[in-house]
Structure 1
Amino acid sequence: MKQAVKARAKVANEILQLKNSYKDKKKLFDKLAFEVAVYDEEVKLAELGFYKPYYDFDCSEDFKEKIATVKSKQKQMLTHKKAVYCNKEWTVDGNKRKGKAMLNKGIRLTARAFNNECDAAIANTRWNNVERMILRINKAFDAINKLNESNAILISHRYLTLKLEELRLTHEYKDKKQKEKEEQAEIKRQMREEVKLERELEKTLKEEDKYNKLLEKAKSEAEKAAGSRLEKLNEQIAQLDTELAEAHAKNERAKSMAQQTKLGHVYIISNIGSFGDNVYKIGMTRRLEPLDRVKELGDASVPFIFDVHAMIHTENAPALEKELHKAFDSKRLNLVNNRKEFFNVSLSEIETVAKKISVDAEFIEMAEARQYRESQAIREQMQQQNIKKKSFKELPDEI
């Protein structure tokens, strides 16, 4: 019995030791895995965290000026030997001058090594590795200082801070430049839209003027005509009256859209062949013919044309578009660039929200996706033909 108790106690002690050993090894493993991740370009973005901007400058030029200031401070620190320094006095063969020369050489080598590490990290910084590059600079700082422990040469924490500041500023400068580029592209697109509206207005004015002249001419001829000729001219006048009224309405609408920045259409479109089911673009256009905008979107950049599910005419298109975007903000496909107006949401959800804001909104549930469905049918037909060909080839020449 005593032996069994001793054996059990021994086993329990071994289990406890194994648990403690495992815990220590797991800590070491996690530490090493994290250090490897710093240099692993394939590591997932979420593992090292997303970068949070440090600065809130209005334009890229502000970043540029700040980078120049930071670099100037670094240069001053290097010049005054405050970036890399040594608090110990050295002698070589009892000679202080030789000791000072050796120390200065060590300081220059240390500065060059650290600067090279920092320059490489800053040059290779991208949107998905900023935190990793910050860790690399910190690791280089610790590693170089540790190597220099024997000769008491140190890189200052202030210099490290300036290098990290340069990295963050450079990254955010690039990011700001890209955003400014996108904003400029959007402004140019809006300008093109304005030009098209002006052209449409000019076109409708000419059209109304044409019908006016034709109507005046017909009325003038009718005054001098009689019998069947008069009857024919009266029919022509009635037809021209209708066409003139339509042209005038079109002209008034074009004028209104050119003068008012809010009047327009909000469109809901899909492209199953390009983006799959339950992916919709919610956008707006101020064009007189809103479908022209949809046709543009379905140009050579996507393999299939878009299907229109709703085209809502409204007095305040930006407000309606904004409300719909806000309602489905968490369902955006692109959570970074809000100008990409694609949402992973069902059409019934969009319809419910849209009709709360604009009760007259009409929706087409089924996407025709004609070219996509025809392509699928052709593909299926081709597969069937290939199967038949293959089965024929497998038939032996003789039996």
Structure 2
Amino acid sequence: MQDFGFYNPKYDLESSEAYKNRLEDLRRRQKEMVKSKVATTFNHNWTVNGSKSEGKKMVTDAVNLAIRSFNNECDATISKVTVANISSSEKRIIKAFETINKLNRVTSTEIKKAYLDLKIEELYLALEYAQKLETEKEEQRQIREQMREEEKVRREIEKLKEKVEKEEKHFTQAISKLEEQKTNATGDQLAELEAKIFELQNKLNEVLEQKEDVLNRERNTRAGYVYVISNIGSFGEDVYKIGMTRRLEPMDRVKELGDASVPFKFDVHAMIFSEDAPTLENILHKTFTNNRMNLINDRKEFFRVPLQEIKRVIEDNHDKTVEFTLTALAEEYRESRSLREKSLEQENIPV
């Protein structure tokens, strides 16, 4: 499976720090084997021109050269390891091990299998370490994105609170003044004042309802919108992003997504308010987990699934009526395609 870009971790340690420590320990063990002269086997009794000291020097040089050559080959291979080439990288290290041992057969010098095993272990640990680092970077990016999103929500709520409290104060003061004027009013004037008070009271009631909604949103951090959007020009038919936002104006979030690294705007198929938006979003993500476009990174929220299926799952798990737009307008994409086709037709018109 590794040849096709799939990789099942051998070690699956919990953090990059754990991988780093494991690698440091492994490399320390390798150095210990070399230093203690147990990384290789060699002939202790070799002589050169009858000299044991010359023979010992020749064997020492051969051992050092073998270890250095093998380490260099391993380091070069490990530094470039990826999921796509992990199998061939392991074969390359084994091939280097066999070749170096074969070349040193004349001096009876051989790198031990135990040392090779440590290098193979280092290869796989290095790959998983790099993967874990990438995963942690993505998680940190997501956390920063979430923090920015929450800060935007906080500012929106504060701004709206300020607005409704200002309106509440305005209407309350206006009603109070009219009530004072009523004490000396009679007949038509009194009736007119009462009508104005009634009108202002209705407006004040609306403001108080808005204020209560804002306070509820501030208290309930799980309230928000689950959205279903598509971008045919960028991702093709039947591909939908299912996400959530706590924004008071959820379309602001959709607009941001459309401005970020995609050539066309998103079409909105559903915008569902929920008192527990994360749970509804999670149900949808789990239901369509096998339909994910990216099966490696769960934080990518794109799914290839019929819109009717998404609609059915939402209706089964949401107790309020949801309006769905089943047709994607994809206006910018369709207009762009039309202009491109016209341009090609004009180029093919014979002169």
Deviation at 1:234, TM superposition (A): 6.1
- Does residue 62 in structure 1 map to residue 18 in structure 2? yes
Unpaired segments ≥5 residues, structure 2: none
Q: Counterpart in 1 of 2:322?
A: 361
Equivalent of 2:81 in 96, 115, 125: 125
Which amino acid is the alignment partner of residue 135 of structure 1? K
Between the two proteins, the alignment pairs up a number of residues equal to 346
Q: Distance in 2 between matches of 1:266 and 1:343?
A: 15
Contact between 2:226 and 2:281, CA under 8 Å: does it hold in 1? yes
Q: Distance in 1 between matches of 2:204 and 2:6?
A: 61
Q: Counterpart in 1 of 2:120?
A: 164
- Does residue 270 in structure 1 map to residue 230 in structure 2? yes
State how 1:21-32 maps to structure 2 within 5 Å: none
> What is the root-mean-square deviation in Å for CA atoms of aligned residues?
2.4
- Does residue 281 in structure 1 map to residue 238 in structure 2? no
Equivalent of 1:290 in 238, 245, 250: 250
Change (3 A) 1:89 1:361: farther
Which amino acid is the alignment partner of residue 304 of structure 1? F
- Does residue 253 in structure 1 map to residue 213 in structure 2? yes
- Does residue 370 in structure 1 map to residue 331 in structure 2? yes
Contact between 2:70 and 2:100, CA under 8 Å: does it hold in 1? yes
Change (3 A) 1:65 1:345: same
Change (3 A) 1:114 1:228: farther
Which amino acid is the alignment partner of residue 373 of structure 1? R
Q: Which has the larger radius of gyration?
A: 1
Q: Counterpart in 1 of 2:341?
A: 380
Alignment TM-score, normalising by the size of structure 2: 0.90
Alignment TM-score, normalising by the size of structure 1: 0.80
Which amino acid is the alignment partner of residue 386 of structure 1? E
Q: Distance in 1 between matches of 2:189 and 2:67?
A: 101
Change (3 A) 1:65 1:285: same
Q: Counterpart in 2 of 1:216?
A: 172
Q: For structure 1, which segment, 187-196 or 233-242, has the greater mean C-alpha deviation from structure 2 after superposition?
A: 233-242
Q: For structure 1, which segment, 128-137 or 108-117, has the greater mean C-alpha deviation from structure 2 after superposition?
A: 128-137
Q: Counterpart in 1 of 2:143?
A: 187
Q: Distance in 1 between matches of 2:199 and 2:261?
A: 43
State how 1:1-399 maps to structure 2 within 5 Å: 47=3, 50-87=6-43, 89-223=45-179, 224=181, 240-359=200-319, 360-388=321-349, 391=350, 393=351
Identity, % of aligned positions: 47
Deviation at 1:243, TM superposition (A): 4.4
Give the secondary structure class of the aligned counterpart of 1:194: helix
Q: Distance in 2 between matches of 1:373 and 1:244?
A: 47
Q: Distance in 2 between matches of 1:94 and 1:228?
A: 134
Larger relative CO (CA 8 A, sep 6+): 1 or 2?
2
Which amino acid is the alignment partner of residue 219 of structure 2? Q
Contact between 2:4 and 2:84, CA under 8 Å: does it hold in 1? no
Contact between 1:268 and 1:311, CA under 8 Å: does it hold in 2? yes
Deviation at 1:258, TM superposition (A): 2.9
